Chain A
Amino acid sequence: MWSRRGHGWRIAALTTIGTAIVLPLVVFVLGPNMPPGKGTPVATSQVTDNTVLLVVMTPFTVFILVYLGYALTAFRAKPGEEGLDGAPLRGHFRSQVAWLASTTAAVLFLAIFGTTELLADNGAGGGAGPNPVTKPGGAPLPVQVIGQQWEFTYRYPTYGGVETATLVLPVGRKIAFHVTSLDAIHSFWAYELGVKADANPGVDNIAYVETKKISTFHVRCAELCGLWHGYMSDTGHVVSDADFASWIAARKRQFAPVMKYLPKYSSSYNPDPTFRAG
């Protein structure tokens, strides 16, 4: 029989080789295809983030799979050995310490890395509550997202508080989404922008993003909100400055007659609570 030391070296070697093969694949093939794509700076850094997570996981995964495969071939009971016991090992201090040290290092790295990414990206596209810890410089364009059963509407406070049923954003601008709800909890998910923020009644949940290129993106509700939740999706547009200006001017004209029926723009609204729906 091979010595136990031999087993250890072979597993170490296989793990190293396996990692050396898989890592480049992860970095160069899988990584660039990670979600949510490179539609905005925030989305791009989420892609980077996902790639880093994959890289950190790779050696551990390869080790465990190699070990499993190796153990199941090398340590199988041979015919005739069924009644016999294996070696009565009850632990091995050095390998336990090595395991603890490497997993701890990985975990601390992940936590620190995630925190820096979160702060550097002003909340990384996630809903950061009414008073985000970090804010982008300059004056982002505020856009209010109002979740309601079962659609999103959008208000542009800097354009007279006009409310529209489609989301149109100017390109190359920092945007501050102010997400709120009139009824149940919804979640505003603009996939390609790398934005997700829950819409809670009475809460102004802010998420920052910067648009990068002229494009369309998917909007879906990502929190179960009742009967038609499965149909609560639409398409948003990132357009040139000129297109945006003419679009919003047209909307202001179009909705001018009904503006007086809209509630005044506010960070959240008080709908009638005494209703009951499916």
Chain B
Amino acid sequence: MRRRRLVEFNLLTGVVLGIVGFYVGWWLGHLVKAPSLDYFDDTGQNDIALFVAYFTGVVGFLVGLGFANYPVQRMLGKPPSLREKETEGIGRYFGLCTDHKVVGIQYLIGIGAFIFIGGLNAMLIRFELLRPTHLAWNGNNYLTLVGLHGTMMMGMMTSGILGPFANYFVPLMIGARRMAFPRIEALTFWLLMAAGTILMTALAFGGFPTGWTGYAPLSVQANMGMDAYIAFFALVGLSMTLLGLNMLATVITMRAPGLAWGRLPIFVWGTVSTSVLMLLAAPVLISTLFMLALDRTAQTGFFNDQAGGSPYLYENLFWIFGHPEVYILALPGMGIVLELLPVFSRKPLWGYRLAVTGLLGITLLSFLVWQHHLFVSGINADLRPFYMLSTELISLPTGFIFVCALGTLWAGRIRLTVPMLFALAWVFNFLIGGLSGVFLSDVPSDVTTHGSFFSMAHFHYTIMGGLVFAFFGAVYYWLPKMTGFELDERLGKLHFWVMFLAFNSTFGPLLVIGFLGMPRRVVTYAGYLQGANEWVSVSAFVLGASMLVFVANLVWSQVFARVPAGANPWGSKSIEFQLPSPVPVHDFDRIPTFGPDPYPYGGIEEAGFDGTRPAVSPARPTP
């Protein structure tokens, strides 16, 4: 039995201590004085105070949530509980909980809320672009909106699939019952929530003008809102590093007996490759932002060409992180799509090994291409052929993913359920994303497309058309498993079709607008582009409205209709669908045994299979 404490550690205490911590830090920071910091008083812009305040605020928040309890009790020699809040009841969602399924749902709601805010920003951006001249926002507010939108999306979506779905399902898929480091798992989530809140505070400090890339020296000049960007992204980086580490440790060490690497569902491979990228790339981001923070506070000159530094250094470091980052956004989507296609084609995954090679090939190559973002910057101009080649080489492993997706459809019995529609839309959207990427990878062509709306449309095709569509596929596929209640199919199809058509009608024309010479991140544009921009804006509003259909579906089906989903609504042979919905707190009664094939669809005789492998046993936990 748990004793009731006078003060329970939960979200409320976290928020209270967070706010207290913020003000304590703010006050402490103002005590720092030095001659080179005189301008703080002149401008009222004390960056040191703000950084210290963010730091102490986050620490207070985490302490309030109860993250200090375990280490403190260990130091005091008391044996602390290994599990926290692993019970039934709604309270466990509002605090530090070490149940991987609770963390998954926390992620889904928490990240979903911030992505919703990011989407609202996009609507405000598109509103301004209804007119070629100034309409609603001045230059500073427009740039802040672009920066908030881009940064929020890039920061939150990195964990958009791993956070909710890998945390929830990878331990089930490998028969593990929990993650390797459950407290770190919870920490990654709460760090993100703190980060998102901090980014919103940029609005209170004048916003920031740099977009999501934060290029120096602009970011060194910028006012205090920039500090919010730095703190946000550094916390996201920390969360990513820990998430990647935790996932890798879990998959490497905690697979059930007999679950060899070649038997893992492809989604687990998607998670593993993403985690490798997170673990190796995110620390670069943290260090880069640390240098930027020092340039802004201690007046170092890392990125100042007159103090021995260089703006190129920032660009290089940022993209050494940034390009792997875009694959951190792409790989989980691939994992989801290849996981869904077999279920709804009722076939094994076609070319399992090829798909794994593809995922790992992308992982490796994505570290070798970063200067394709700097083709016209003048740095290492003689290396451009190399970066052109390495970038184009990535289309080979990406092609593997495509051919495996297509092959899985071959001679299947395809059911166009809502998750399947989203998975198929991924194939279409990512195709366009990849094709537009060919222009950007080709230096002569990039001279026009670099920094234009073309490149903006390109990465929305890969991230929104790729990752976000895969995300919704995963939501429709797995949410009934997570909550026990079905999502409405008719509303789901409505959501899909509106979103798919509006998405293409938004970003397809943007490719053309970019070709016609409209740069990114501009609040005014040439008059002859107004018609096209109006079309795009209206489409974007429809796209935004499709999200409301989803929210309506969510609320209606999960709060009001509450149709029980049953254990296996899709007839999936994946292990999580052999468990009750929602999955019980202790996951399995006994660790399940796994067959040699994660996708045992179809009889083995019919296959003309060479028969060297043992007969397929359905992946089903022995009761």
Contact = CB atoms under 8 A, between A and B. Distances in A.
B601 A88 contact: yes
A196 interface: yes
B450 A196 contact: yes
Contacts of B413: 75-77, 81-82, 84-86
A258 interface: no
A103 B399 contact: yes
Given A184-B218, A230-B139, A88 B607 contact: yes
Contacts of A203: 305, 312, 378
A197 interface: yes
Contact of A126 (B139, B376, B412): B376
A88 B399 contact: no
Interface in B122-176: 139-140, 142-143
A218 B517 contact: yes
Contacts of A65: 431
Contacts, number: 314
Interface in A225-278: 225-231, 233, 270, 273, 275-278
B448 A107 contact: no
Contacts of A114: 385, 388, 392, 441-444
Chain A contact residues (Cβ within 8 angstroms of B): what range? 35 or more
Interface in B571-595: 571
Contacts of B178: none
B368 to A, nearest CB: 13
Contacts of A123: 381
A46 B448 contact: yes
A154 to B, nearest CB: 18
B519 interface: yes
A133 B414 contact: no
Contacts of A214: none
B447 A230 contact: no
Interface core residue of B392, B396, B413 (most chain A CB under 10 Å): B413
B373 to A, nearest CB: 11
B345 A86 contact: yes
A214 to B, nearest CB: 20
A233 B135 CA distance: 18
Contact of B602 (A46, A87, A201): A87
Nearest to A87: B411
Contacts of A34: 515
Interface stretch (A19-27, A94-102, A157-165): A94-102
Interface string B480-523: 00000000000000000000000000000000000111011111
B210 interface: yes
A222 B223 contact: no
A197 B378 contact: yes
Given A127-B381, A128-B378, A221 B431 contact: no
B524 A117 contact: no
B416 interface: yes
Contacts of B55: none
Interface in A195-212: 195-198, 200-203, 205-207
A64 B607 CA distance: 25
A230 B444 contact: no
Contacts of B517: 35-36, 191, 218, 220
A61 B431 contact: yes
A226 B414 CA distance: 51
A225 B217 CA distance: 9
A198 B306 CA distance: 18
A125 B447 contact: yes
A41 interface: no
B607 A87 contact: yes
Contacts of B435: 57, 61
Interface string A44-70: 011001100100110001001101100
Contacts of B396: 100, 103-104, 107
Given A77-B413, A197-B378, A278 B140 contact: yes
Interface residues of B, number: 102
Nearest to B217: A184
A13 interface: no
Interface stretch (B13-21, B80-88, B348-356): B348-356
B403 interface: yes
Nearest to A206: B378
Contacts of A85: 346-347, 413, 601-603
A45 to B, nearest CB: 7
A145 interface: no
Contacts of B393: 107, 111
Interface in A92-138: 92, 95-96, 99-100, 103-104, 107, 110-111, 114-115, 117-118, 121, 123-130, 132-133
Contact of B346 (A84, A103, A128, A129): A84
A47 to B, nearest CB: 10
A187 interface: yes
Interface string B431-443: 1000100110111
A54 B345 CA distance: 32
Given A72-B424, A218-B517, A226 B345 contact: no
B218 A225 contact: yes
A185 interface: yes
Nearest to A220: B519
B350 to A, nearest CB: 6
A72 B381 contact: no
B451 interface: yes
B209 to A, nearest CB: 5
B350 A196 contact: no
A71 interface: yes
Contacts of B444: 45-46, 49, 114, 117-118, 121, 124-126
A130 B378 contact: yes
Contacts of B521: 224, 229-230
B410 A71 contact: yes
Contact of A68 (B39, B374, B424, B448): B424
Contacts of A75: 345, 409-414
B402 A90 contact: no
B375 interface: yes
A194 interface: yes
A129 B306 CA distance: 19
A14 to B, nearest CB: 14
Contacts of B609: 88, 90
Given A114-B443, A125-B447, A126-B375, A87 B215 contact: no
B551 interface: no
Contacts of B409: 67-68, 71-72, 75
B381 A273 contact: no
B568 interface: no
B448 A89 contact: no
B597 to A, nearest CB: 8
Given A71-B406, A115-B385, 11 more contacts: A72-B409, A96-B351, A107-B392, A111-B393, A114-B444, A191-B517, A195-B447, A220-B519, A222-B520, A224-B143, A224-B215
* Leading 7 A-B pairs by shortest Cβ distance: A88-B602, A205-B378, A86-B412, A202-B305, A230-B523, A124-B444, A222-B451
25 contacts: A68-B427, A75-B345, A77-B413, A86-B414, A88-B607, A88-B609, A90-B607, A91-B407, A103-B395, A114-B385, A117-B444, A118-B443, A123-B381, A183-B217, A198-B378, A200-B378, A202-B310, A218-B517, A224-B209, A224-B521, A226-B209, A226-B221, A270-B306, A276-B221, A278-B209
